[in-house]
Amino acid sequence: MAHHSVPAVKVFTVSLGCPKNLVDTERLLGALGPAMLPADTVAQADLALINTCGFIQPAVEESVAAILDAVRDADETRESTGRRPLVAVAGCLVSRYGQDLREELPEVDLWLSTDQLHLWPVMIAQAITHARPIPNAPRRLSTGPAYAYLKISEGCSHNCHFCTIPSIRGPHRSRPVEALLDEARTLAASVPEIIIVGQDSTSYGSDLGGDNTIKHLVSGLADLPGLAWLRLMYLYPAGLTDDLLGFLKSIGDPLLPYFDIPLQHAHPDVLASMGRPFARNPRKVIDRVRAHFSDAALRTTFIVGYPGETDEHFDHLMRFVEETRFHHLGVFPYWPEDGTPAAALPDPVDDQTKLDRRDALMALQADISREIMESHVGQTLPVLIEAPSPEWPGLFTGRTWFQAPEVDGTTYVSTPPDTTLTPGTIVTIEIDKADTYDLSGLV
């Protein structure tokens, strides 16, 4: 019987926004099967896939620019070769602005919204006649040999007044524990670190009942053979109860004492106006975490320039950051988003003031971060090696336990001559140098 090999499908991908989007892209690439080959440029590809972010205005602008680049490259390829790669646009921007986008960008061949996630492979296969989707295929990891993201839920059921996510991604929907553990087993066979992501990880399982709880999930993940580090991201303040924190403390390794808690502000008036679903005093959450984990590394994000934010409100936030001493901090100027309650609020803050406040908060955090980094000089720390550094031979980039990929700093590792380190392994190094966000040391 003759076997017909499936022709290769060359795919150029751009995945914008958060790690949750990246997981969607990886799942799609896996579902396109072993015949899927990565392409470095649109011109080399059969398919150019732009997975977009539509969360805030700068993300929308970045997504639109990426789409226009892909369309231009596809058109130029047709002019020079007679063959035009298919341009597919996926993700949150499509869910948010679907019909308007279709009218504005008729050059895009395929639109994939987030409420059709499970259909993406089939839709692409129908558009590219020689593509064959493979049901339940493993993800095609794009994050290298050191780590992978595990997306535990879709959507969000909170109604924060500034946020577009519930309208884009729908209500909170958890994936069952057993499905997640099956996926995680495959991941742990190839990477030493798994990072849990979801819109609100502490709400995990609240919609499913039974054994589908964050405790059951974390217990199962902690027992996976080969897993060295387990990191939890997107922990809502309200969900970090004494009960959950006590449980997490009892897990020990491989769970890292790293807490990513998006607080958004510190002043009770601003938090109330934001419609944030937790006690009005974020200090209580921080104290609770530190009571259970004295060595906790804390990451958070804040919004500055929210409508009605006064100088007094902002000074309160600055004092809170100075006293709390977060390891890592992201600051976003507030952007009014169409359709959100916050967009209709009075007393907008002017753009220059927003940027000045962001810069002031980041300058304060830079000093705090530098002091925290310098406190590690002379210590011995485990470092997960990610890649050889292009800067010079014998230098490698990696992360220690309190550095999450992409959002936190880097640890640079120097090796003796003729020594090489394997990406995806953990080595112990002595820290000899620190700067604002990064560490350096020797094996």
Q: How far is 32 from 139, CA to CA, in rounded Å?
A: 10
Cβ contact 353:310 at 8 Å: no
- 283 assigned to a ligand binding site: no
| 131-158 burial: b if 16+ Cβ within 10 Å, else e | bbbeeebbbbbebebbbbbbbbbbbbeb
CA distance 74 to 85: 6
53 is in an annotated binding site: yes
Q: Is 217 annotated as a binding residue?
A: no
Rounded-to-10 torsion of CA 209, 215, 220, 226 = 150
What is d(CA 187, CA 27) in angstroms, rounded to the nearest whole number? 13
Q: Where are the beta strands (DSSP E) in 347-425?
A: 380-388, 395-400, 411-414
CB atoms within 10 A of CB 247: 16
171 is in an annotated binding site: no
Listed residue (115, 124, 109) closest to 95, CA to CA: 115
Q: Is 425 annotated as a binding residue?
A: no
- Give the Cα separation of 59 and 443 in Å (integer): 39
Residue 229 pairs with which residues in a beta bridge?
Answer: 193
- Partner residues linked to 174 by β-bridges: 153
> Strand 229-232 and strand 255-260: pairing?
parallel
Distance CA 47, CA 25 (A): 13
With H, G, I as helix, E, B as strand and everything else as coil, classify residue 143. coil
> Within a 10 A sphere around the Cβ of 369, how many other Cβ atoms?
23
Q: Is 54 annotated as a binding residue?
A: no
How far is residue 271's CA from residue 186's CA, in Å, rounded to a whole number? Answer: 40
Known binding residues are: 18, 53, 92, 156, 160, 163
Residue numbering of the annotated binding site for [4Fe-4S] cluster: 18, 53, 92, 156, 160, 163
